[in-house]
Structure 1
Amino acid sequence: MNLMNQGIDSTRIAAYGRQTASILLWIFLFLQWSLVQAQSPNNSAAAAQVRRMLSEQQIDENVLRNKLKSKGIDIDQMSPQEIMLQQNIIEETVREIQQEQSLQKSTLSKSDSLAKAFDPFQRKEIRSVLSDSSSAQDPMAKDSLRLQDSLPPSPVYGHDFFRNKSLGDFQSAQALTAPESYVLGPGDKINVLIFGRSQADLNYQINPSGFIQPNQMPKIFLTGLSLKQAREMLENKFASYYVFGNGQFTVTLQASRSVTVNVFGEVQRAGSYRLSGFHSAWAALIAAGGPTTMGSVRNIQVVRGNTRKTLDVYAFLRNPSETFDFALQNNDIVYVPVADKQVVVTGAVRRPMVYELIKTDGVKELVEMAGGLSAEASRDWAQVIRKDLREMRVLDINLSDVLNNAQKIILQDGDSIQFKAIASDLRNYVKAQGAFYHNGSYDLQATPTVQKLLAKAVLHPQAKDDIAFILRRNNDRTQQVLVADLKAIAKGLQEDLPLKSEDEVWVYEQARYASEFAIEITGEVREPFRRLFPYQEGLGLAQALELAGGLKPEAAAKGYVLRTNPLTPKRTAYFEVQLRPVPAVFRLEAGDQLVVLNKDTFVSDRTVRIMGDVPNAGIYRFDPSLRIKDMISLAGGFNESANRGEIEIFRVDFPEGQPTVRTTFKVKLDTAWRAMDPEFALQPYDVVVVRKIPQYYLQEMVNLSGEVNKEGPYNLNRRNVFFSELLRLAGGITSDGDLNNTVIDRKTPIKGKVFFDGRLAVKHARQIKYDPILRPGDQITVPRRLNMVIIKTRNTNFSSAGTQDSIIVTFQGKLDAKEYIYRYGGGVREVDTTDVYYKVKRQNGFEEVSRKSRLGMRHPSVRPGDEISVILVPQRPKSKLDDKKVDWDKLSAKMITLLTTLALLRTYF
């Protein structure tokens, strides 16, 4: 049951408006049961007043309900009399909420002051890593760790554990269950679960005084106790009020308190952080991004009042259980000083990085921090590079004595120590290469001679086992070649050759020394091949064809053998051989190539072609059996417009030894598409052309609309039909028709409008100059005659006086465009830098503009239905040449000189 939804009388709430919040809440809880029964009509208004008063006192309804339930008070299950008995506990709960809120405000204020005192950057914001109600299952906010994504890797060992969230993941995993060593304090929430004969699931929060208040029990002080100690004490206390056996009582941390921790010194983001009290100092360092490159990871200080603890990251990495030895409390300070001593480790160690050392650390401890020496490291010595005040020094140390504790070397800040590796060159070996079963390297001590190496590497049966080559590398990187007679060594006739380090023993296969030549078959066989044969050996022709899978069906009856003697490769002989049947005695020799030809190789690919008025023009391979009828049928017959009685033939003849002759002739056809000349036959490369019937046309239509007596579509009964003829067929125009503005909208061959004077077309009928010829698809429109003229007011004085875009006047007879503008448009709004033009747009869309002439400007005439507008065109700027005056004296002198020269030339030449 929601507290805010209980009915309550608004007048009674107002009577208590000036009382304290605790008394108001108690009365409210006392009356809620009875008022629910009454169902007062003022319930919603009264609930709103209660909600407002609780908001003014900053008391959250859910927090109050949960606190009462944790103390064993559930008002939903209680009568008004039972609520009266719990008055003291209810009032105390309200006061606890107010005290906790006051304490949190003072703690934050104190933390801000402390942060300002220690923070050189005067950060004002406290970064909240956990909310106040953070549960133990969510000990650290993910957003605080996400800040580290932008931090670069650090060369110092231990820093990346803060930057790559390794420690953060560890903390989150550990936080799933509270440790027994966790110290309780104000704000912690615990859960008491009893599952014996008595059953109870109770939640409590430690108040600022350090107590919890179980229902019907005395207060219990828990602050400062570990979770283990608190469990033992609570089990003893509750045993007096509940019945349970051994193992039937548990206490767990349900939600930890929040604490404010200040992180200063050499960290990435110094400042104040609000964390769960469950966390250790590690979490604060993670939230701050960890130490900077010069920050210490061995001497981190955790300050609590006058108490200091030292946090050593290296010690934690050796023993992670130390994480909870640094539990945080409110206002703790984590300070990261500058590292006292950092040493660079390189060379043959498992983890070469920069390490921080403390006073007691030496080289041996440094090797342990670096993960120990690597497998190839030398245990004899190491080298320290030290920078003194004036120079760099190199110090050699006896690593064996250091590791055996016979000597302790203390390093200085800035030292660089390099651990040397044993020489990695592989030298004490010999190699077996070539025709061996086991090629590779062998121990020189186990195989010191050629014979012992051959026994281990084992020769192939195909190996040339009478000779071996030993390639020996000299110190100057040159090679020496030694020859071993293997048969003589095996018979004891020659001493076995000793081997040296890095010798390579080569034994080659016999095939390397064999002379091999190919027999090749190409062309029209199923599986062409090229195979190697020994010199002076061959293969029968029949067997060779069988080896190639036999002849293809398209293979010719003969082929050619190209014989090249391997000993004289620049000479080739040619033999023609029969392949059907195959001669039994013919043999292919090593070096021969058999070429099997296609039987169509000698047949030229001759064609004939049909074109013209047929559905499917095409090219066909010529054959004497092909006739004219066949070609027409293959082309899909004739088109509807084709001339079926006659075709044309374009032919080319090839006289023996003469230039080609091209001829053209016609062939008459009968109704069966056969040539009427029985002697006619197609020849290679003929082109058959089917012509179209002259002037073959289907119905061609135009459409006439507008002011005519007979509108609609008309057929063009011949090629050239004039407009005047169509108008006569339509019965002429109506009394309102306007021939002057007749227009033709043409679709083909060029899309657009055809302008003409319809009156002149009728007057001069069938004259191309005046009467247009119609084309299929034309749309002819005769508009209605109008007795008005439209004047556009833009650029006129009329537009200055009003907002009207145009005016309409009646047609005034023979006036030009300018006269209409000045008579009805108030004249032109002229500008000195512009030229004035008048444009007339006819009713059919034709436009006419003023034009300049020798006698001045000529303006277009106006007809009924026209639209007049004014165009202002900027004047072309005058050049200097326009303003320059003509020097007539100089011009006359030049003209006289030119005429004199021409007269002299004419006289003498």
Structure 2
Amino acid sequence: MRTKDKLSHFIHCILFYPAVFLLLALTGSYQASAQAATRSRVDQLSDEDVQNFYERAQASGLSEAQIEQAAMSQGYTLDDIAKMRKRITALRAQSSRPLSQSVIDKQTGRTLPPDLSRRTDSLTITRKDTSKKLRVFGASLFENANLSFEPNLRIATPRNYVVGPDDEIKIDISGASTGNFELKVSPDGTVKIPDLAPIFVSGLTIEQAEQRIIDRLRKGGYQGLGTAGSGTSANITLTNIRSIRVTLVGEVVRPGTYTISSLGSAFNALYLAGGPNPETGSFRKISVIRGNRVVRTIDLYDYILRADQRDNIQLRDQDVIRVADYETHVELKGQVRRPAIFEVLPGETLKTVLGFAGGFADDAYRASITLRRNTSRERRIVTISEDQIGAFIPQGGDKYEVGKILERYENRVQVAGAVMRPGDYSLEPGLETVRQLINRADGLRKDAFTNRASIMRERPDMDRENLSFDLGKLMRGEIADIPLMRQDSLTVLSIRDLREKYYVIIEGAVNLPDSIEFVANMSVADLVAQAGGFQEGAKPNLVEVARRIRQDSAGIRATKLEIYRFAIDRNLQITSMKSDSGTSAEFKLKPFDIVYIRTSPNYEEQQQVYVYGEIMQPGNYSIFSREERISDLIKRAGGLKPQAYITGAQFKRKGIIIGNDLSRILTDSGIEENLLLRAQDTLYIPKRPEIVGVEGAVLNSSAVSYKEDYKFGDYISEAGGTTDNARKSKAYIVYPNGRKARTHHFLFFSFRPKVYPGSTIVVPFKPLESNKLSTAERLGILSLLTTVSIALVNILLR
């Protein structure tokens, strides 16, 4: 009765919802024959109409099966219902998935179910482990967001794929007869072809289902279908695939039941569950249980190490995946390619574990491995030799460490210094003595110091000792050859190693004065050429060479150096030479000589001064005479303009104002203020300023307009007067030409300096009284004096 009530309610909804009515009240009669495949009116509906139908049908409270039964009761076929279901499923999947994910495969037309489980937690983000703790091998496999093991929709349907409810099968008939059917497997495991009895396909492989459907179609009217020579063929493909539910139990990160695609694999389900728990779970004993029977045991090491996917089987509905507890964990660190914590199965040896770790690193010490093993009470150390590795059986909790080879050589000897090929050589037959080592190094260089060579040898107690010998005699056979030992290091000195580094110096009027490496047979002209030649102002006929005195003498010489003088023309030819010894032989430089190239006394580079402001011809002027002065510069510049303010003229040297009076200089050029010009001097002639500055200990530091009848004190009053901490008697004025004038005192009279336009009046502040006593200090001293006074009175009265 309840189903009937819902069906009546559904028919009632059809009457009130035009969109649903449009779907079900399809006009025209449907031809039942499979050969008359006409286009369904469902294909003409828009996605919006289909979405409205789905939402309103859900609101009616009926299940999908009841809605289909109501539609069939009104004369609509399974083909119409299948097409509507397909469109509703596609719209639901599209709205529930991110836009970036593909819902429908364009090549196969196959879609994933919309209700699949998704892993969206933080485990999908690959993290870089910054801790030094070793991780369980394989734990990072299921943390990689780029390795989800999702099934590929573009592959052909596996022939062993087991058909189940909600799968959709498409049948294309071509040839002498044509037809097109899209069939959905019902919950009872059948597909319904119009005018044919339901065909049971659930539990069959896709290949078996295909044979059963073709056989039924052949009996239902498609004569010769699938038979060779009949001209009619059928192609059956899987379009929409169903979802299945699998359960993961045991030591997984997130045990539970997950919905996956029917094409999903064991690895896909493990990924959704986060994989085995690295702390407790086994990566090598993962059971796939189907119908209470273990159908596959998965060892993830096969996939990680050898990319073997034989255990990645396709799952079926209600499969159970159980991750067992690990039995044996061992830790392998040190000089191996993949240090980690590894899981060991019974029968596996330490050699197997080394294989898991990628084997020894290049610099590993392979002679033995150190093991720290737990006992019932404490730990113990075990040393595993290289020949025991293949048979050694690990135990739970073992910690293996592979060391690094020593930084030493078992057969190395070295030669360094003045040989043709210095370096490391192997101590072997044919290279066992000093002479053989030097011959192997292609012999001595020409600069070798053969009177002495040395061997640095390592003693048995690791101390080092030096063995010196006459290398020349050894090479000539005058003394016995010296046998070499492992780690010996032979050093052959060069004659350059036993002296200072030879150089000569050139200074003065050359383009590149520098210290230059000495070479034999070098002349002064050669040195000048290496120094870039003479400068423009050089005086070639006055070249000096200072030479060290190298010979020993019985007493102390009065002179410290030997001096040689040359005259060289600009073609670098010596025209004459003078020396303290008077020799005139051809002169060659010796180590540590210093060559001086003098500058001509009459040579000077152009030196400029700059004049600007209220002058007829401002700009740069070269100093043409050593006697040229300020007044001469003004004349060369054409004199002053009419509006020039002579009193404020500023003459600067190296950026500093030199106080002078230009009006006096122009009146009398012989006065001392008329300075000689120097390079980079500047002269500024301003216009007459109209203000006077007042600053320092005044109430309002400001600029005051100049007035003819104002005196020094008037300008201070214009600035608000002085402050309480002003030193009035020390007030002074700075004139625009850089001069300064202060207040003078005579008896009780003060004489203030005269004020000119552009001047600045400065009133200094009184210095801070840093040693002034505070009130508390004064009271303390007064109290002390009172106490002392009372004590003195008492003493006197006694």
Decide: shared fold, TM above 0.5.
yes
Pairwise CA distance, 1:489: 4.0
Name the SS of the counterpart of 1:297 in structure 2: strand
Question: In structure 1, how many angstroms separate the alpha carbons of the residues matched to 2:545 and 2:414?
Answer: 46
Q: Which amino acid aligns with 1:335?
A: R
> CA 1:483 to 1:289, structure 2 compared with 1: closer, same or farther past 3 Å?
same
Structure 2 residue aligned with 1:183: 162
Q: Say if 1:133 and 1:255, in contact at 8 Å, map to a contact too.
A: no
What are the equivalent positions in structure 2 for 1:872-891 lying under 5 Å apart? none
Q: Does 1:58 align with 2:58?
A: yes
Question: In structure 2, how many angstroms separate the alpha carbons of the residues matched to 1:25 and 1:174?
Answer: 31
Structure 1 residue aligned with 2:293: 307
Q: Say if 1:435 and 1:459, in contact at 8 Å, map to a contact too.
A: no
Over residues 509-549 of structure 1, what are the superposed CA-to-partner deviations in whole Å (9 max), with x where a residue is unaligned?
A: 34335676433223322344544447xx6644444434444
Question: In structure 2, how many angstroms separate the alpha carbons of the residues matched to 1:453 and 1:557?
Answer: 55
Pairwise CA distance, 1:565: 0.9
Q: Which residue of 137, 148, 156 corresponds with 2:124?
A: 148
Question: In structure 2, how many angstroms separate the alpha carbons of the residues matched to 1:415 and 1:179?
Answer: 45
Question: In structure 1, how many angstroms separate the alpha carbons of the residues matched to 2:536 and 2:650?
Answer: 37
Name the SS of the counterpart of 1:162 in structure 2: helix
Structure 1 residue aligned with 2:140: 160
Pairwise CA distance, 1:597: 3.4
Q: Which residue of 259, 265, 283 corresponds with 1:297?
A: 283
> CA 1:100 to 1:470, structure 2 compared with 1: closer, same or farther past 3 Å?
closer
Q: Which amino acid aligns with 1:336?
A: V
Pairwise CA distance, 1:458: 0.7
Question: In structure 1, how many angstroms separate the alpha carbons of the residues matched to 2:648 and 2:21?
Answer: 122
Structure 1 residue aligned with 2:643: 641
Structure 2 residue aligned with 1:519: 504
Q: Which amino acid aligns with 1:294?
A: T
Q: Say if 2:281 and 2:325, in contact at 8 Å, map to a contact too.
A: yes
Q: Which residue of 261, 267, 273 corresponds with 2:258?
A: 273
Structure 1 residue aligned with 2:595: 594
What are the equivalent positions in structure 2 for 1:685-764 lying under 5 Å apart? none
Structure 1 residue aligned with 2:345: 358
Structure 2 residue aligned with 1:224: 203
What are the equivalent positions in structure 2 for 1:96-135 lying under 5 Å apart? none
> CA 1:565 to 1:197, structure 2 compared with 1: closer, same or farther past 3 Å?
farther
Structure 1 residue aligned with 2:664: 665
Question: In structure 1, how many angstroms separate the alpha carbons of the residues matched to 2:102 and 2:518?
Answer: 93
Structure 2 residue aligned with 1:456: 440
Structure 1 residue aligned with 2:418: 435
Over residues 138-191 of structure 1, what are the superposed CA-to-partner deviations in whole Å (9 max), with x where a residue is unaligned?
A: 7988864864327675711122211234752x5567975554443332223445
Question: In structure 2, how many angstroms separate the alpha carbons of the residues matched to 1:648 and 1:97?
Answer: 101
Pairwise CA distance, 1:223: 2.8
Pairwise CA distance, 1:495: 2.6
Pairwise CA distance, 1:620: 4.0
Pairwise CA distance, 1:383: 4.8
Q: Which residue of 319, 325, 329 corresponds with 1:332?
A: 319
Q: Which amino acid aligns with 1:641?
A: Q
Name the SS of the counterpart of 1:343 in structure 2: strand
Structure 2 residue aligned with 1:508: 493
> CA 1:490 to 1:640, structure 2 compared with 1: closer, same or farther past 3 Å?
same
Question: In structure 2, how many angstroms separate the alpha carbons of the residues matched to 1:284 and 1:162?
Answer: 11
Q: Say if 1:647 and 1:668, in contact at 8 Å, map to a contact too.
A: no
Q: Say if 1:436 and 1:460, in contact at 8 Å, map to a contact too.
A: yes
Name the SS of the counterpart of 2:448 in structure 1: coil
Q: Which amino acid aligns with 2:593?
A: D
Q: Which amino acid aligns with 1:369?
A: F
> CA 1:158 to 1:630, structure 2 compared with 1: closer, same or farther past 3 Å?
same
Over residues 237-276 of structure 1, what are the superposed CA-to-partner deviations in whole Å (9 max), with x where a residue is unaligned?
A: 7785668989987655444322233334333333333222
> CA 1:377 to 1:549, structure 2 compared with 1: closer, same or farther past 3 Å?
closer
> CA 1:174 to 1:420, structure 2 compared with 1: closer, same or farther past 3 Å?
farther
Pairwise CA distance, 1:666: 5.9
Pairwise CA distance, 1:387: 1.8
Name the SS of the counterpart of 2:246 in structure 1: strand
Q: Say if 1:541 and 1:584, in contact at 8 Å, map to a contact too.
A: no
Name the SS of the counterpart of 1:299 in structure 2: strand
Name the SS of the counterpart of 2:25 in structure 1: helix
> CA 1:98 to 1:253, structure 2 compared with 1: closer, same or farther past 3 Å?
closer
Structure 2 residue aligned with 1:412: 395
Structure 1 residue aligned with 2:427: 444
Q: Compute the TM-score of the two structures, normalised by the length of structure 2.
A: 0.60
Pairwise CA distance, 1:340: 2.6
Question: In structure 1, how many angstroms separate the alpha carbons of the residues matched to 2:526 and 2:382?
Answer: 83
Name the SS of the counterpart of 1:275 in structure 2: strand
Question: In structure 2, how many angstroms separate the alpha carbons of the residues matched to 1:373 and 1:693?
Answer: 93
> CA 1:462 to 1:601, structure 2 compared with 1: closer, same or farther past 3 Å?
farther
Question: In structure 1, how many angstroms separate the alpha carbons of the residues matched to 2:214 and 2:112?
Answer: 27
User: Which segment drifts farther, 258-267 or 446-455?
Assistant: 258-267
Q: Compute the TM-score of the two structures, normalised by the length of structure 1.
A: 0.54
> CA 1:435 to 1:175, structure 2 compared with 1: closer, same or farther past 3 Å?
farther
Q: Which residue of 379, 382, 392 corresponds with 2:379?
A: 392
Q: Say if 1:647 and 1:689, in contact at 8 Å, map to a contact too.
A: no
Which structure's relative contact order is higher, taking Cα pairs within 8 Å and 6+ residues apart?
2
> CA 1:635 to 1:559, structure 2 compared with 1: closer, same or farther past 3 Å?
same
> CA 1:182 to 1:469, structure 2 compared with 1: closer, same or farther past 3 Å?
farther
Pairwise CA distance, 1:483: 3.6
Structure 1 residue aligned with 2:575: 584
Q: CA RMSD in A?
A: 5.8
> CA 1:323 to 1:277, structure 2 compared with 1: closer, same or farther past 3 Å?
farther
Q: Which amino acid aligns with 1:462?
A: K
> CA 1:617 to 1:161, structure 2 compared with 1: closer, same or farther past 3 Å?
same
Structure 2 residue aligned with 1:473: 458
Q: Which amino acid aligns with 2:276?
A: P
Q: Say if 1:381 and 1:396, in contact at 8 Å, map to a contact too.
A: yes
Over residues 496-520 of structure 1, what are the superposed CA-to-partner deviations in whole Å (9 max), with x where a residue is unaligned?
A: 2211001112223343356764332
Question: In structure 1, how many angstroms separate the alpha carbons of the residues matched to 2:327 and 2:183?
Answer: 47
Name the SS of the counterpart of 1:314 in structure 2: helix
Pairwise CA distance, 1:218: 6.0
> CA 1:348 to 1:661, structure 2 compared with 1: closer, same or farther past 3 Å?
closer
Structure 1 residue aligned with 2:8: none
Pairwise CA distance, 1:450: 1.7
Name the SS of the counterpart of 1:160 in structure 2: helix
Q: Which amino acid aligns with 2:328?
A: K
Q: Does 1:370 align with 2:357?
A: yes
Pairwise CA distance, 1:378: 6.8
Question: In structure 2, how many angstroms separate the alpha carbons of the residues matched to 1:212 and 1:543?
Answer: 108
Question: In structure 1, how many angstroms separate the alpha carbons of the residues matched to 2:18 and 2:235?
Answer: 39
Q: Which amino acid aligns with 1:457?
A: A
Question: In structure 2, how many angstroms separate the alpha carbons of the residues matched to 1:204 and 1:545?
Answer: 103
Pairwise CA distance, 1:594: 1.6
Question: In structure 2, how many angstroms separate the alpha carbons of the residues matched to 1:234 and 1:307?
Answer: 31
Over residues 15-50 of structure 1, what are the superposed CA-to-partner deviations in whole Å (9 max), with x where a residue is unaligned?
A: 9639999998543354999xxxxxxxxxxxxx9999
What are the equivalent positions in structure 2 for 1:23-42 lying under 5 Å apart? 25-30=23-28
Structure 2 residue aligned with 1:552: 535
Q: Which has the larger radius of gyration?
A: 1
Question: In structure 2, how many angstroms separate the alpha carbons of the residues matched to 1:623 and 1:132?
Answer: 90
Give the share of equivalent positions with the same residue, in percent.
23
What are the equivalent positions in structure 2 for 1:5-84 lying under 5 Å apart? 17=15, 25-30=23-28, 55-58=55-58
Name the SS of the counterpart of 2:436 in structure 1: helix
Name the SS of the counterpart of 1:459 in structure 2: coil
Question: In structure 1, how many angstroms separate the alpha carbons of the residues matched to 2:21 and 2:690?
Answer: 115
Pairwise CA distance, 1:444: 0.6
